[in-house]
Amino acid sequence: VDEFGLIAACFKPLSKGYSGSLNLTDDAAIVSLPAGQELVVTTDAISAGVHFLGNEEPALIARKLLRCNLSDLAAKGAAPLAYFLNVMLPTDTTPEWVHGFADGLRQDQAEYSIHLAGGDTIATKGPATFSMTALGVIPAGKMLRRCSARPGDIIVVSGTLGDSALGLISLRGAAGDEYLINRYLLPEPRLALGKKLLGLANASMDISDGLVQDLGHICEESKVGATIRRPLLPLSKPAAAMIKNDEKLWDKIVGGGDDYELLFTVPASKKQEIGALAAKLDLPLTVIGEIIVGDSVQLLDENNKTVPLANKGYRHF
């Protein structure tokens, strides 16, 4: 594989549409900002055998990586601008694989109006590994934070919870549910929602490590507690069916992670705006509990009893 030829063939076309990329012909990219705007910058890395199986279609690996970064931008209320990508590949990687990977990026770039601005392709003696840094823009001072939830806020989540964790079980099992598997492979960054949360939500983040753990992050940074109610948690039909067969799977709903739905808090006085927003975006927005004075997350079951939290979320080590 000729590295420079491969980069030119696969990645240069992805930089068209963002002039600051300089068509990937220089050591660095240029990023300029309109007056009154700030950059929101997020970065993530994934490695085969840990964060993805490794045998997925390369296009799907690329799209999920991009979407996970976009999900962070969505959670902060930012609009996508550009991204940087480091691709670390075993030396036996085929050109077809790289083309497939780049093609996945191409598809999602068009869908989410973002372009490649720079990066590096290197060899590694380990499994395929990728690192992405995504830039978004936002009016100065408006970024949605984790640290600004207030007692009395209602806690809201978008979409449905646990699909991705159950999808991964499906993918590993014999009779997989296609809907759940797709939710695992291709999360949907909630960019339109995030934008609408500016001026509405007090605190916001995306759920990547699991509902309970991520809500714990909001509580820790905001110095508050939270009560959430299991009967209120939004489930897809396939997820509800699996839970009905095996109640232990609730652990996956509240702690499985990889949801990439938004988790945000809103002053109770603005509760009715949530219903209107859900209708406008055609996206379920569900109130699952409330922020309280305290320092921990409490999950209540159907009988208002505290559920012991066995799986507090995804630990990276």
Residue at 63: amino acid letter: R
| Cα–Cα distance for residue pair 131/125, rounded to 1 Å | 16
Q: Does residue 311 touch a copy of itself according to CB under 8 A?
A: no
Among 11, 18, 52, 84, binds a copy of itself (CB under 8 A): 84
**Is 22 or 171 the residue whose CB approaches a copy of itself more closely?**
22
The nearest distance, CB 258 to a copy of itself, in angstroms, is 14
Residue 274 token pair: 């949530």
The nearest distance, CB 202 to a copy of itself, in angstroms, is 14
245, 157, 289, 248 alpha-carbon torsion, rounded to 10°: 20
**Is 205 or 242 the residue whose CB approaches a copy of itself more closely?**
205
x/- map, 200-219, a copy of itself, by CB under 8 A:
-----xx-------------
Q: Does residue 115 touch a copy of itself according to CB under 8 A?
A: no
Which residues from 46-75 bind a copy of itself, rule CB under 8 A? 46-51, 72-73, 75
Q: How far is CA 255 from the centre of its chain?
A: 15
Q: Is the dihedral of CA 147, 148, 153, 154 positive or negative?
A: negative
The nearest distance, CB 38 to a copy of itself, in angstroms, is 5
The nearest distance, CB 167 to a copy of itself, in angstroms, is 21
**Is 39 or 60 the residue whose CB approaches a copy of itself more closely?**
39
Q: Is the dihedral of CA 147, 152, 157, 162 positive or negative?
A: positive
Sequence-distant (≥ 6) Cβ neighbours of residue 297 within 8 angstroms: 212, 215, 216, 219, 225, 226, 228, 309
> What count of other Cβ atoms lies within 10 Å of the Cβ of residue 273?
14
Nearest by Cα to 214 from 317, 78, 309:
309
Among 126, 199, 275, 284, binds a copy of itself (CB under 8 A): 126
The interface region with a copy of itself, picked from 56-64, 135-143, 169-177, 223-231 by CB under 8 A, is 135-143
Among 1, 279, 293, 310, binds a copy of itself (CB under 8 A): 1
Q: Does residue 309 touch a copy of itself according to CB under 8 A?
A: no
Nearest by Cα to 69 from 30, 25, 105:
105
Query: Can you spell out the DSSP letters for 60-106?
Result: HHHHHHHHHHHHHHHHTTPEEEEEEEEEEE-TT--HHHHHHHHHHHH
| Cα–Cα distance for residue pair 82/79, rounded to 1 Å | 10
The interface region with a copy of itself, picked from 83-91, 228-236, 246-254, 275-283 by CB under 8 A, is 83-91
x/- map, 142-161, a copy of itself, by CB under 8 A:
-x-xxx--------------
Query: Nearest 5 degrees, angle CA 271-CA 274-CA 276?
Result: 120
Q: Please count the residues of the chain.
A: 317
Which residues from 10-49 bind a copy of itself, rule CB under 8 A? 22, 25-33, 35, 38-49
Residue at 229: amino acid letter: R
The nearest distance, CB 90 to a copy of itself, in angstroms, is 9
Q: Does residue 120 touch a copy of itself according to CB under 8 A?
A: yes
> What count of other Cβ atoms lies within 10 Å of the Cβ of residue 264?
29
Q: Does residue 174 touch a copy of itself according to CB under 8 A?
A: no
Chain positions contacting a copy of itself, by CB under 8 A:
1-3, 6, 22, 25-33, 35, 38-51, 72-73, 75-76, 78, 84, 86, 88, 91, 117-127, 129, 131, 133, 136, 140, 143, 145-147, 205-206, 221, 315-317
